[in-house]
Each structure stands twice: as C-alpha cells, then as structure tokens.
C-alpha cells in the first residue's frame, strides 16, 4: 500500500473514530436530559404536593384557631414537658398574656405565686384529678379542667367563675344572716315565753292547790274557780302572742306523728267541752272518714281546731255549734283530703268585715262592743298554720245568723301498726297514791318550787325540794329518789347539765324536765338528751299526776 493511500486510510479511520465518539456522546446527552426532565417533573409534583399540604395545614390551623377562639372559655394545649403548644384568645385574655409570648413556654409561667404553681403542678401530675379551681388574682377565680388527648398532649379548658363564687358568697352571707336572725327571734320567743310563763305558773298553780283543798262548793271556791278560768283566758292570749312570734319568725316547725284522726279530734273537743257547758252552748260532732290513721301535725291541728271552736263558743250565746270532720280520697295515692267545718248560729260577721277576719290584730265591731277577750291574732295564726300545711281556709257568715269556717288540707295516710304512743293526759285523772315513794324537785324560783312541792305532796310521797341543782345531785348520790322534777334554766347547773351528770353517776331514775319554753323543737331536744318526759309551765295538776302514774305506777 503506497504512502498516499495509507495516509488516506489513516485519515478515514480517524474520521470514523471521531464520528463514532460523537454519536455515543449524543446518545448519552439525550438520556441525561430525559432523566433530568423526569426528575424535574417529580420534584415539581412533590413541590406542588408540599405546597398543597402546607396550604391544607395552614387552613386546618386557621380552622382550629377559629374553633379555639370561638370557644366561650379559655383553651390551651401542652406537651408532656408542660410547654404550651396552642392557646386561644379567651385564655390569653383570662391570663393576661399574648399568644406569641407564651407559646413554647412552660405553662407554670402563667401562674404567679408559689402556692398556685405548686397547686397546678400537683394537679397536672395527678391523673385522678381532672378539675381544679384556684384564686388567680385578688378578685379572679379560675376553674380549669384537663383532658389527655394523647400520651404527649393535654388539653386544658379555663373559665372565669368569679361571678358565680361571688354570688355563692353573697348567698352564703344572706343564709348566715337569715339563720342568725331566726336564732335571735327563736331566743327572743324562748326568753319571752320563760318570762311570761314562769310567774304565771305560780299564779295558776296556787289557785289549783287552793281549789283542790276546798272540799265544799263555797263562795270562796267559786271565786277560785273564776280566777282559774280567767288565768286560762290570759294564758290563751299569752300563747297566741308567742305562737304568732314563733310562726312569723320561722321558729315553729311541724312535727308529724302517726295518729288516729278521730281520737285526735276527740281530745280537742274534750279540751273545749267544759267551756261550751259554761256558756250553755251545745256541741255536735260528726265524723265521715275514709281512713283511720294519718301522719298528723297534732300540735298544729290542735291550734287550728281549738282556736276555731273557742271562737265559735265565744261568739255564740245559748246556741248550737256543729262540727263536721270528713276525709275523702284524692287522685294522689296515699293522700286524702281533710275537710273541717265548724258552724255556729251565733252573732255572725258583717259583710264588710269578711275580708278582714284573717288579718293580724283585726277585731270586729261586735267583739269590741261586747268586750270579748282577745288581741286579734287567733285567726291570722290559724290561716298561717293552714297555709303551711298545704291547705286553705274560708268563711261563710251573715250578721245575726251565724258563721261557718271551713278548713281543707291534704293528709298523708299511715298504717295503724305505725301508731305513735299516746301520752296525752286525761283531765279526770285521780291523785295517784305514792306512799313509800321519794320525789326530788329543783327550781331556782322559790314560788314555783313551792307550787310544785305542794302539788307533789298531795300524792302521799316524801318530797324534798332544792333551789340548787348541785345540792339535789349531792343528795341524790347519797340517797337516790324514785323520780326527779327539774327546772331547765337555773344559774349554777341547768336542768340539762343535771341530767347528764346524773346519768354519768349511773342514776337511772326517771328525770322530768319542767320548762317555760314552749318550743316543741326544744322539747324534742330534751327527750333526745335523755329526759323521760317534759312538763310545760304553767303546770296543771292532771298533767303532773299523769306523768307520775305512767312513770312510777304503770
């Protein structure tokens, strides 16, 4: 091969190599550009997705923020290190902070004062306590509640309960003030009762002793009888005043016992029958009962019935009083309706006075003209008692013809097997024979002590009297009596203290409380602490003899 041709072949070979290298390079570049294009597209898609995610997250955060801020109470979330993650505007306002300053800071930084911080830490660490209330500032009470959202996140709600706490404090203050006023009124009623009944006990007691010692019906005995009647009239007025004060002050509370309705009203009738006989008025009673036994406020019913019966007797002269007592079944199971009607053919009430008869201190012209005793409180007390028992009272009357008072009230049925024991005394009780018995009695009022001493002497018992409870106790410990009668209010040792000291010394004899306090709540208290029974001043002979019979002779 000549040199020229060799050179040409070499040149062709080099050209071919260059062309080959150029072709391979083009293929490589094209592939890289494709890969880059694909990668770029993927990046753009991921970036778009990321932007969409960020937009969605931003929208979710805005929605969450809107929800949190629209809540009517404070909300915040904390992590497991107690750092604040989110806090709404209401919480910022309550805690007086800004969101950007407290986010990612410890929640304890929100609560000033070491006590508050310790309280919050203890609360956050206690899984059993979900609620907390604390005094955030001088006049701000916060109530908080926590909810665990996840292992590392807690949601806390915060509310301002200052208004509620202030209202509660105000109500508590009003309640305490009302209770203090009721207590003061109750103490006043008890004090007035004691001051009125204590001397009255002496007057009525002496008259009863004098009458009991007069064997024949003489002019002197008639005068004593008249004195006793007038004393009892005065006692009615005293009781009206005390009852009025007790009811209006809220002191009187109804005490319900299971009793036979007819037996209860028979006793009421028995109490006024003597007065009806003296006034030459006839009394007729009709019963129409659908059930026998009820839960009764016997004392309240007694006040209502006896007051209405007494009024009928006072305003009727040589006339007739008809009493009707009816019970009818009601729609409520176990509840009957009592209707008490007391109708007389006495003076009657003028038409213009009918709307006023239940008003306090009201007295009709006829009552004033005829000098009928009373202070005008009886019917207002009756109406108040009837109202408190869930009933109503009305009157039908015509001047010169007569009056009818009608009381209606619900009564709850009771079973005969649940009857309360009947401790009411009988007025016809004979003087008990207590020869061989020993009775001790104590009262710091010498005249009252003399009265009960003479009443007890008539039983034939050996009676020892004391003006000091400590002296009586000393004597009883050396020689125990069969029974003790003790006054309640005494200067050195009072009646309740005497009872407790006697029981501590193992004296198990009956002890009777003698008191001028007419409050039945106190009477229940006396029985609860251990007195065997209670006697209310002024004492009547039949009452004291009834106690002696039941405790020493039964």
Per-residue pLDDT tens over the stretch 76-100: 989 988 999 888 888 888 888 998 8
| Whole-structure pTM value | 0.55
Calpha distance 357→343 (Å, rounded): 16
Do 278 and 311 have their domain in common?
A: yes
Asked if residue 170 is part of any domain, the answer here is no
SS3 annotation, 297-324: CHHHHHHHHHHHHHHHHHCCCCCEEEEE
The CATH number assigned to the domain holding 545 equals 3.40.50.2300
End-to-end Cα distance, the chain: 167
Which of 137, 160, 183 is the C-terminal boundary of a domain? 160
* Cβ atoms within 10 Å of 363's Cβ, excluding its own: 16
Asked if residue 324 is part of any domain, the answer here is yes
Answer whether residue 365 shows pLDDT above 90: no
Answer whether residue 138 shows pLDDT above 90: no
Do 362 and 483 have their domain in common?
A: no
Do 136 and 53 have their domain in common?
A: no
Do 418 and 447 have their domain in common?
A: no
Asked if residue 401 is part of any domain, the answer here is yes
Which of 145, 160, 175 is the C-terminal boundary of a domain? 160
Beta bridge pairs of residue 323:
285, 342
Answer whether residue 3 shows pLDDT above 90: no
The CATH number assigned to the domain holding 321 equals 3.30.565.10
Supply the range of the domain harboring residue 35.
9-58
Do 54 and 76 have their domain in common?
A: no
Asked if residue 346 is part of any domain, the answer here is yes
Do 412 and 297 have their domain in common?
A: yes
| Number of domains into which the chain is organized | 4
Answer whether residue 25 shows pLDDT above 70: no
Asked if residue 278 is part of any domain, the answer here is yes
Name which residue leads in pLDDT, 14 or 40. 40
Do 13 and 107 have their domain in common?
A: no
Asked if residue 29 is part of any domain, the answer here is yes
Asked if residue 193 is part of any domain, the answer here is no
- DSSP class of 27: H
Do 20 and 91 have their domain in common?
A: no
Q: Mean pLDDT across the chain, nearest whole number?
A: 83
Do 337 and 472 have their domain in common?
A: no
Closest CA to 377 of 241, 518, 250: 241
* Lowest mean pLDDT, pick from 42-46, 64-68, 491-495: 64-68
Answer whether residue 343 shows pLDDT above 90: yes
pLDDT band with cut points at 50, 70 and 90 for residue 542: confident
By DSSP bridging, strand 153-160 and strand 140-150 are: antiparallel
Do 411 and 298 have their domain in common?
A: yes
> CA angle 243-296-186, nearest 5°?
25
Do 110 and 39 have their domain in common?
A: no
Do 389 and 461 have their domain in common?
A: no
Determine the pLDDT at residue 460.
93
Which of 368, 392, 422 is the C-terminal boundary of a domain? 422
Q: From residue 400, give the alpha-carbon distance in Å to each of 374, 403, 459.
A: 21, 9, 50
Name which residue leads in pLDDT, 405 or 539. 405
Asked if residue 320 is part of any domain, the answer here is yes
């Amino acid at each position: 091969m000549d040199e020229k041709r060799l050179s040409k072949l070499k040149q062709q070979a080099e050209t071919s190599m260059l062309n080959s290298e150029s072709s391979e390079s083009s293929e490589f570049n094209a592939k890289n550009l494709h890969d880059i294009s694909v990668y770029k597209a993927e990046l753009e898609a991921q970036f778009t997705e990321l932007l969409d995610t960020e937009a969605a997250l931003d929208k979710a955060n805005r929605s969450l923020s809107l929800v949190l801020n629209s809540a009517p109470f404070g909300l915040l979330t904390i992590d497991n290190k107690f750092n604040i993650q989110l806090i709404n505007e209401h919480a910022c306002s309550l805690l007086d902070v800004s969101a950007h300053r407290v986010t990612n800071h410890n929640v304890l930084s929100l609560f000033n004062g070491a006590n508050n911080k310790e309280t919050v830490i203890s609360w956050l660490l206690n899984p059993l306590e979900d609620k907390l209330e604390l005094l955030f500032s001088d006049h701000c009470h916060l109530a908080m509640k926590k909810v665990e959202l996840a292992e590392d996140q807690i949601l806390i709600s915060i509310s301002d309960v200052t208004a509620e706490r202030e209202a509660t404090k105000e109500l508590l203050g009003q309640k305490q003030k009302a209770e203090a006023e009721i207590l003061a009124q109750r103490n006043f009623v008890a004090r007035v009762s004691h001051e009125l009944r204590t001397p009255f006990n002496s007057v009525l007691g002496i008259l009863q002793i004098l009458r009991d010692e007069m064997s024949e019906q003489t002019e002197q005995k008639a005068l004593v009888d008249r004195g006793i009647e007038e004393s009892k009239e005065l006692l009615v007025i005293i009781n009206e005043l005390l009852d009025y004060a007790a009811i209006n002050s809220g002191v009187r509370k109804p005490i319900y016992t299971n009793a036979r309705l007819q037996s209860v009203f028979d006793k009421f009738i028995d109490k006024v029958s003597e007065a009806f006989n003296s006034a030459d008025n006839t009394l007729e009673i009709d019963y129409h009962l659908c059930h026998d036994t009820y839960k009764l406020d016997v004392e309240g019913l007694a006040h209502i019935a006896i007051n209405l019966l007494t009024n009928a007797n006072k305003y009727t002269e040589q006339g007739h009083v008809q009493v009707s007592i009816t019970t009818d079944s009601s729609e409520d199971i176990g509840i009957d309706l009592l209707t008490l009607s007391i109708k007389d053919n006495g003076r009657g009430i003028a038409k213009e006075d009918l709307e006023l008869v239940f008003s306090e201190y009201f007295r009709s012209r006829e009552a004033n003209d005829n000098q009928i005793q009373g202070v005008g409180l009886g019917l207002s007390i009756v109406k108040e008692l009837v109202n408190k028992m869930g009933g109503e009272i009305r009157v039908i009357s015509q001047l010169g013809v007569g009056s009818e008072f009608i009381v209606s009230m619900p009564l709850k049925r009771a079973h005969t097997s649940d009857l309360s024991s009947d401790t009411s005394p009988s007025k016809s009780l004979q003087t008990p024979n207590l020869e061989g018995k020993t009775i001790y009695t104590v009262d710091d009022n010498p005249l009252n002590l003399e009265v009960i001493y003479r009443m007890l002497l008539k039983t034939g018992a050996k009676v020892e009297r004391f003006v000091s409870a400590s002296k009586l106790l000393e004597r009883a410990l050396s020689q125990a009596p069969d029974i003790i009668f003790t006054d309640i209010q005494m200067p050195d040792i009072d009646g309740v203290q005497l009872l407790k000291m006697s029981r501590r010394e193992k004296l198990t004899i009956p002890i009777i409380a003698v008191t001028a306090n007419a409050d039945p709540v106190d009477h229940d208290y006396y029985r609860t602490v251990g007195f065997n029974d209670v006697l209310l001043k002024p004492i009547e002979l039949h009452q004291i003899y009834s106690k002696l019979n039941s405790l020493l002779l039964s």
